[in-house]
Amino acid sequence: MTDPRLTDTDRLAQAVKTGDRRALARAITLVESARRDHRGEADALLEALAGSGKQAMRIGLSGTPGVGKSTFIEALGCQLTDAGHKVAVLAVDPSSTRTGGSILGDKTRMERLSRQPNAFIRPSPSQTHLGGVARRTRDAVALCEAAGFDIVLIETVGVGQSETIVAEMSDLFVLLLAPAGGDELQGVKRGIMEIADLILVNKADGDLKSTAIRTAADYAGALRLMRKREGDPEVFPKAMTVSALDETGLSEAWAEMQNLAEYRKKTGFWALRRAEQARGWFADEVRQGLLRRLAEDPNAEAAMARLAEDVASGRRAPGSAAADVLQQLDADTD
């Protein structure tokens, strides 16, 4: 029996909580929507689901196109669902923000995993800017957790800012690399190595096996030179080889992820990082909200355009001109 006093949002929240994948997909569509009235509903939904106490292990995963991300996620994902986990895969695709196309591609990826009843795969939302994608992915992660998924993989392509965005919403960050001969270490930007907890050199099979082993050793050496992260065990960050195709090294890689997670939970760094992330998102939402308000206030916009000229020509000082715009915004809000 459905309670007639329940709103659509309440009903959707209840359905998400039962782990219904169709409801989860609908909920994610709602949080991805750019429509203002949808935003209100999305916020109500997220609020209704907040504090469910359910937490997933959020794993960020990055790598250049062709390195084997889908093959890896599919193989690991199937092993994890076989072991009784519920696995959600989300994607942050920076290409869709620029071209409307997609590097990650939504077509026939991870067919085997998508057939598992305990798996949920969601392609990247097409949005106009990366900030928007970040926010929506964050919300989608929260929805997956409320739906009882205990492992959420957030995949991204190794270009630009998207890695940092994904790392900031993950508990662990895994970087997938290809075997590389000689001096190709520098191909990976230092900043990316700094955020990686685990570097996996994929395709350690067939002719590529020995190169992969050498590459992993090179990265292990490079990682040793970097500062150990506070709260992590000595041996992290770590580099190792896997073959997503042959499915070798996957359980070892998973064991390392679990080790690190357990360690961080024990030392309290896990909770600390989560709290810090939540604080950051909250501040980010407030800032975004203020910017939206500014953009949507025609008087403030007009004042800004007018005063920009005054500032450019030196008639006004930037600080006091900005104060005028904010005053206009306050006046319109009251």
CB of 66 to ligand GDP, least distance (A): 5
Q: How far is the CB of 5 from ligand GDP (least distance, A)?
A: 47
Task: Give 71 or 127: the residue with its C-beta nearer to ligand GDP.
Answer: 71
Q: What is the dihedral angle through the alpha carbons of 179, 185, 186, 188, rounded to the nearest 10 degrees?
A: 50
Check: CB of residue 143 under 8 Å from CB of residue 49.
Answer: yes
- Decide whether 118 or 243 has the Cβ nearer to ligand GDP: 243
Q: Phi, psi (5° rounding) for residue 324?
A: -60, -45
Quote the least distance from Cβ 250 to ligand GDP, whole Å: 10
Q: Output the smallest distance, CB 258 to ligand GDP, in A.
A: 21
Nearest CB to ligand GDP, comparing residues 28 and 176: 176
Alpha-carbon distance of 203 to 18, in angstroms, equals: 38
Q: Which is nearer to ligand GDP, 71 or 118 (CB)?
A: 71
Smallest distance, ligand GDP to C-beta of residue 76, A: 11
Sign of CA dihedral 226, 228, 234, 236: negative
Which single residue brings its beta carbon nearest to ligand GDP? Answer: 68
- CB nearer to ligand GDP: pick between 93 and 145: 93
Alpha-carbon distance values, 101 to 94, 107, 127, 253 (Å): 10, 12, 11, 32
Compute the least distance from the CB of residue 223 to ligand GDP, in Å. Answer: 21
| Closer residue to ligand GDP (CB): 170 or 202 | 202
Minimum separation from the CB atom of position 254 to ligand GDP (A)? 15
Closer Cβ to ligand GDP, 189 or 287, answer by number: 189
- Contact set with ligand GDP (CB under 6 A): 63, 65-71, 202-203, 205-206, 243-245
Cβ proximity to ligand GDP, 4 vs 66, nearer residue: 66
Shortest distance in whole angstroms from residue 131 CB to ligand GDP: 24
Looking at the Cβ atoms of 40 and 65, the one nearer to ligand GDP is 65
Question: Least distance in Å: CB of 92 to ligand GDP?
Answer: 14
Q: Mapped to the 3 state alphabet, what secondary structure does the chain carry?
A: CCCCCCCHHHHHHHHHHCCCHHHHHHHHHHHHCCCHHHHHHHHHHHHHHCCCCCCCEEEEEEECCCCCHHHHHHHHHHHHHHCCCCEEEEEECHHHHHCCCCCCCCCCCCHHHHCCCCEEEECCCCCCCHHHHHHHHHHHHHHHHHCCCCEEEEEEECCCCHHHHHHHCCCEEEEEECCCCCCHHHHCCHHHHHHCCEEEECCCCHHHHHHHHHHHHHHHHHHHHCCCCCCCCCCCCEEEECECCCCECHHHHHHHHHHHHHHHHHHCHHHHHHHHHHHHHHHHHHHHHHHHHHHHCHHHHHHHHHHHHHHHCCCCCHHHHHHHHHHHHHHHHC
